[in-house]
Amino acid sequence: MNPVIPGFHPDPSICRVGDDYYLACSSFEYFPGIPIFHSRDLVRWTQIGNVMEQPLSVEVPSSAGVYAPTIRHHDGRFWLIVTIMTVEGPVNVLFNSTDPAGPWSDPVRLPGVPGIDPDLAWDEDDGCWVTFAGMGQVRIDPWTGENLAEPREVWNGTPGALAPEAPHLYRVGDHWYLMIAEGGTERGHAVSIARGPAPDGPFEPCPANPILTHRGTHHPVQNTGHADLVQAADGSWWMVFLAVRPRGGTPGWHVLGRETFLAPVSWVDGWPVVGEIVSGVPAGPFRDDFDLTELQPSWISVRSRPRITKERPDWLTLHARGASLDERDVAFLGHRAQHLRWRARTLIDPSHGRGGLAVRLDERHHYEIEAGDGRVQVIARIGSVRSVVAEHAVTPAPMVLTVETGEPRVPGDACAEPDTLSFGIEGSPALAILDGRYLSTEVTGGFTGRVIGMYAATGAVHFDWFDYEEL
């Protein structure tokens, strides 16, 4: 069952303008931040830009950074509110733009909005309401970020439920609805909803809560939650939400991160009822020959863009800064993995440095094939252990490095890995085949998924092209 936006694209928020839909996702420590997608049918999506062009501090830990945006359209303008999680704590900011592809405004800080996962809604008097995890609420001036009242607590979800978060407030008919996620973003994740007569309640919970969850089931899509609602031009209602596709033995490992799924919504007795997941269109192949002066919007780096030059025509050159993917400021240019089985390749010339092709979860969990100094190495970093698992002498010359995923080595075994990752030089046998579970969220922790990309460890490393395809 395919997501509508596959790969590491969590915390979806959606709005409609005419026949066009726009969707934003979390990006955490990756730069540029907050990808924006466009669709005409809710199933086929194209990334049109990114909101945040400001680099993140190297001090921002992995799985911190940009959390849970909400995108809305009001009075001819797009608004996006989001949490930036720093080492000092959360900072909420607000962007606006007349074009969702950008450019977006500089961020307006919201010092009076605490918590995370902020939402935006406007009432009939043009009052702007921010609801945030906690479950607090406050009216603000969206242009200045100033609070217009004191924050107050509203409905906080199911009593005793873990992690009430991701609030979204809607006016539907005669009621205001407050929808939240709860149960944590793991297997217990769920969506619940309440309604009331005004934006600030009082709210009564839906008697059928949770309105969406796959916990305790054999459904192949799990961790369903962090949802947003949108009404189509024909009057139908739809829900986008995050979920994962675990694989392998017990307890199951998901490796692509939390992805964006879609389901229809009907209204029964004034409450939303969520239908079966709509299967999306599988993502196509991705290739970049680096012929253009600008990078495609789906390319991401860690915290900030490294120094990239075009000193060779139609080649991309990465200049090293951190010495390896263990470093927070590594020179890395990556593409989100979007399929359960895939192959990535790049033509590299390491004659003036050392670098290669990597699969990254964070600084403590990554695999890479690295060329330079007359040799090719396969390196595995798993927690506190870093190991060269294979090494091969080569003649210094351009070469094609490859990495691809494969099936578990013992399918059906209770301890089977979700997949394997095979690293090599094109035209030669694989240098190493590694267990995929160690690049999964269940092992690494955090909120992100696999990102595949090129990096430079020393000097200047040249790349002629990069391609990625489903197997």
- What would the pLDDT profile of 10-46 be if each residue is shown by its tens digit? 999 999 999 999 999 999 999 999 999 999 999 999 9
DSSP string covering 78-110:
EEEEEEEEETTEEEEEEEEESSTTSPPPPPEE-
Kindly tell me the burial class for residue 266, based on how many C-beta atoms sit within 10 Å of its own C-beta (0-12, 13-18, 19 or more): exposed
In 183-235, which ranges are E strands?
190-196, 204-205, 212-213, 222-231
**Residue 1 is assigned to a structural domain of this protein:** no
Its domain, for residue 322, covers 286-470
State how far the Cα of 309 lies from the Cα of 332, in Å rounded to an integer. 13
Domain end among 252, 274, 296: 274
Provide CB contacts within 8 A for 160, sequence distance 6+. Answer: none
54: domain CATH number is 2.115.10.20
**Residue 281 is assigned to a structural domain of this protein:** no
Q: Are residues 198 and 292 in the same domain?
A: no
- % pLDDT > 90, the chain: 96
pLDDT at 409: 85
Q: Tell whether the model's pLDDT for residue 431 goes beyond 90.
A: yes
Report which of 396, 378, 397, 374 is spatially closest to residue 388, judged by C-alpha positions. 378
Active site residues: 11, 165
Cβ atoms of 41 and 51 within 8 Å: the answer is: no
Amino acid identity, position 201: G
Q: Considering its fold, how many domains does the chain have in total?
A: 2
Summarize pLDDT for 36-90 with one digit per residue, the tens.
Answer: 999 999 999 999 999 999 999 999 999 999 999 999 999 999 999 999 999 999 9
Q: If pLDDT is split at 50, 70 and 90, which confidence band does 288 have?
A: very high
Q: Are residues 135 and 202 in the same domain?
A: yes
Summarize pLDDT for 188-205 with one digit per residue, the tens.
Answer: 999 999 999 999 999 999
Q: Are residues 303 and 244 in the same domain?
A: no
Q: Are residues 239 and 128 in the same domain?
A: yes
Q: Tell whether the model's pLDDT for residue 410 goes beyond 90.
A: no
Domain end among 230, 250, 274: 274
SS3 category, 162? coil
Q: Which two tokens stand for residue 17?
A: 């303008």
Cβ atoms of 355 and 318 within 8 Å: the answer is: yes
Exposure string for 310-344, b = 16+ CB within 10 A, e = fewer:
eeeeebbbbbbbbebbebbebbbbbbbbbbbebbb
**Residue 268 is assigned to a structural domain of this protein:** yes
Q: If pLDDT is split at 50, 70 and 90, which confidence band does 293 have?
A: confident
State how far the Cα of 145 lies from the Cα of 294, in Å rounded to an integer. 33
Q: Are residues 218 and 301 in the same domain?
A: no
Element (H, E) at 442: helix 441-444
Asked, as a colleague might, if the bond just before 32 is cis with ω within 30 of 0, I would say yes
Q: Are residues 212 and 353 in the same domain?
A: no
Q: Are residues 179 and 290 in the same domain?
A: no
Cβ atoms of 186 and 193 within 8 Å: the answer is: no
State how far the Cα of 83 lies from the Cα of 130, in Å rounded to an integer. 12
